[in-house]
Structure formats: C-alpha cells, structure tokens
C-alpha cells in the first residue's frame, strides 16, 4: 500500500489533498495541531494521525520517528501546513513574524529532513511543497507571509535539484487566493469580479495529484497567476512602484 504523509491535514488544502489521495488508494498519515479536527478527518477517510506542530523541530523529529517505525517506506510527503501573516513588517508583533517563518518555511525544511530516509526507501517517491503565489510576488500589506513563502519557494526549488539523484521528485504548488478556515477570503468573495479569483481547496488538491502523476516541477493554481510571477521577476520595480503609489493614495484619503 502506498503511504502518504500530509502536514496541515486537519483542514483546508491539506484535508482536501488527503481526501483525494485516500480515494485513489493511498494510506494517509495526517499531521496537524488540533486533535479534534485531525481525528475527524482521519476517521472520515480511514487515515492515521499524529499531533504535530511543524514549527517545532524536535516535535517533527519525534513524530517522524513514530511514523517511520510503522512505515519504513513513504511514497509521498505533502508539506501543506501554514499560517497567515496578513500584516506589515512594521505593524506585526515580532512573535508573529517569527511564528510565520518557523511554520511556513522552516516547517517544510524540518519535515523534509525528518522523512528523508523513508522517502528514499520509497524511491521513486514524491515530495510536494504547498507554497503560494505570494512566494513569487512580494506584497507590502502581507510582508511577513510573503517573505516566509519566498523562503519556502527557494527551499523547494533547491530541494528539487538536491533530491533528484536520490530518486525523490519534488513538486512546488503555488496557489493564489484559496478560501479556507485559516485563510478566509471574505472581502474578495463579496466582490462581484474579484470573487472569481478565489479557488477552492479541492482544485489545489487536484493539481497536487496531477503534478505527482505528470512529474510537473512547479504549478500555479489557477494557472493564470503565472504572468504576475513573470512580471515580478523581469521588472520588479514596476510592481513595487504600483503598490507604493496605491499605498500613498490610501494614506492620503485617511
């Protein structure tokens, strides 16, 4: 039986991905912080579960040791755990900035390292990092979150090269706005036009499966977010000036 470990498996993209994997015959091991939600999803899809805060490196190592004792070989690791950081660098509490970086970026690093031996034993295997369009386009009003996702994206791209000789395929998924419990998109959904930019977790889950099946290295969900990343990479000054001008207008209006 194919074994998949999914972090952030109690809700949102992680839960949607676990449901789809279970439908396709994968035996899932779900990791998350909230026991009630984690147990409910696990019972629903017949999965195993472990309480784990991926921001805590020692906790990740401890949980990984328990999981790999039961499952020596793992075919798939999905790093989906993440927390929001919708504030600026100057307004955010220092603790929030640190927490966002530890969870969104370092959490993926700790999980990849902790499950590496099991992924090698399951070779050819797959590691999926759920990053974000925010990892490709810097946004001032969510600076800490964007920075954590930029770091996670660089990590994922580097890992793609590093793990290839070990028979582990790395896939980077960059979702745009997704309506989840942890990332509500209330304002966008209330807008007649912008509501169409919000995706459901199930769409991201389908793209995860597609990336694994087709060997896609990096995907944007929906696909039309990719041009924004290209603009940021080629002419970053344009986006920076546009956002700064918008910020000045809002400040002038009070």
CA distances 248 to 235, 245, 254, Å, are 21, 5, 10
Chain mean pLDDT for the chain: 88
Into how many domains does the chain fold?
1
Which tokens in the block code for residue 47? 């999965």
Phi-psi map region of 228: left, alpha, beta (phi>0 left; psi -120 to 50 alpha): alpha
Peptide bond into 227 cis (omega under 30): no
Which residues make beta-bridge pairs with 156? none
DSSP 200-237: PHHHHHHHHHHHHHHT-SEEEESGGGHHHHHHHHH-HH
CA dihedral in degrees (17, 27, 8, 122; nearest 10)? -100
Domain of 218, CATH number, reads 3.40.50.720
pLDDT in tens, 28-80: 999 999 999 999 999 999 999 999 999 999 999 999 999 999 999 999 999 99
pLDDT in tens, 13-35: 999 999 999 999 999 999 999 99
Catalytically active residues, by annotation: 145
Report the pLDDT value the prediction gives residue 193, as an integer from 0 to 100.
Answer: 45
| Stretch 170-194: mean pLDDT | 66
Separation between Cα atoms, residue 5 and residue 21, nearest integer Å: 10
pLDDT beyond 90 at 84: no
Which tokens in the block code for residue 8? 């952030």
Which tokens in the block code for residue 142? 């969510």
| Stretch 222-227: mean pLDDT | 72
Q: State the pLDDT confidence band at 82, using cuts at 50, 70 and 90.
A: very high
Q: State the pLDDT confidence band at 248, using cuts at 50, 70 and 90.
A: low
CB 20 within 8 A of CB 203: no
Share of the chain above pLDDT 90, in %: 69
DSSP E strands, the chain:
3-7, 27-32, 48-51, 76-79, 125-130, 168-175, 218-221
Which residues make beta-bridge pairs with 170? 127
Q: Containing domain of residue 162, as a range?
A: 3-253
């Amino acid at each position: 039986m194919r074994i998949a470990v999914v972090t952030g498996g109690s809700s949102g993209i992680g839960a949607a991905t676990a449901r789809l994997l279970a439908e396709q015959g994968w035996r899932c091991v779900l990791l998350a912080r909230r026991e009630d939600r984690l147990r409910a999803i696990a019972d629903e899809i017949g999965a195993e579960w472990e309480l784990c805060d991926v921001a805590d490196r020692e906790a990740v190592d401890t949980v990984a040791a328990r999981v790999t004792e039961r499952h020596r070989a793992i075919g798939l690791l999905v790093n989906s755990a993440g927390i929001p950081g919708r504030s600026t660098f100057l307004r955010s509490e220092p603790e929030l900035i640190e927490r966002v970086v530890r969870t969104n970026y370092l959490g993926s690093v700790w999980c990849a390292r902790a499950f590496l031996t099991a992924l090698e034993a399951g070779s050819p295997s797959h590691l999926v990092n759920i990053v974000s369009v925010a990892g490709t386009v810097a946004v001032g009003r969510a600076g800490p979150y964007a920075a954590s996702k930029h770091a996670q994206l660089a990590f994922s791209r580097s890992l793609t090269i590093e793990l290839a000789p070990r028979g582990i395929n790395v896939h980077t998924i960059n979702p745009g706005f997704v309506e989840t419990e942890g990332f509500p998109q209330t304002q966008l959904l209330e807008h007649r036009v912008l509501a169409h930019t919000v995706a459901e977790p199930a769409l991201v889950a389908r793209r995860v499966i597609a990336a694994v099946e087709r060997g896609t290295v990096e995907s944007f969900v929906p696909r039309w977010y990719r041009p924004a990343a290209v603009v940021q990479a080629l002419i970053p000054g344009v986006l920076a000036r546009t956002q700064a001008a918008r910020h000045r207008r809002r400040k002038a209006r009070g």
